[in-house]
Amino acid sequence: MTASPSRFEEDVQHVLRHEGGFVQHPRDPGGATKFGITRETLARAKKRPASINDVRRLSRKEAIAIYRQLYWDAVRADELPPGLDLATFDLAVNSGPTRAGKMLQAALGVEADGVVGPVTLGAARRADVPETIRRLTKARLGFLGRLATWPVFGLGWRRRVLAVEQEALRLALPPSSSSRTV
């Protein structure tokens, strides 16, 4: 099952609802961020060192291009079932694509090497997608809850993860066949 070309466009808007403007929180180990993009990530995307001012000047359009290349494409979200693509993509943005790949693989019951390839994609296509989304959410909250920064950022992270789960489940579940028309 391949996501439609517009799937990224919709999913990135959902992620951006959780990723704000420029922030330089003293307790955030990622340092200065804008749209959730750190200096390190921006430097990787630009293939040169990035300053705090580079982060501050990051445009929404550039952030979306970085999301596409370094997160969406890295977890092969276009090839994941609807809903699971959003849950995995948001996890990649928040915790890195390798961790997202490993957590997705663990939720699917396949070897967790962090590389989303044919085995992972095949398991995703065969999976109970809503149940996989729920397992991924539980694992994600467990991981975040063990971080030293949970007391500072935990409430916001929890809200984000649960909002992503709710939207991912909406995308994964077909419209109710029992809905009535007037």
3-state secondary structure of 6: coil
Range(s) of the domain holding residue 61: 7-172
Position 42 scores a pLDDT of 95
Structural domains of the chain, count? 1
177 occurs within a structural domain: no
Residue 174, pLDDT > 80, answer no
Confidence of residue 169 (pLDDT cuts 50, 70, 90): very high
What is the mean pLDDT of the segment spanning 119-143?
A: 97
Residue 19, pLDDT > 80, answer yes
Q: Taking the model in full, what pTM does it have?
A: 0.90
Position 6 scores a pLDDT of 63
Q: Which two tokens stand for residue 72?
A: 């969406």
51 occurs within a structural domain: yes
* CATH number of the domain to which 141 belongs: 1.20.141.10
2 occurs within a structural domain: no
Position 97 scores a pLDDT of 96
**Core vs surface per residue 126-161: b (16+ CB within 10 A) or e:** ebebbebbbbbbebbbeebeeeeeeeeeeeebeebb
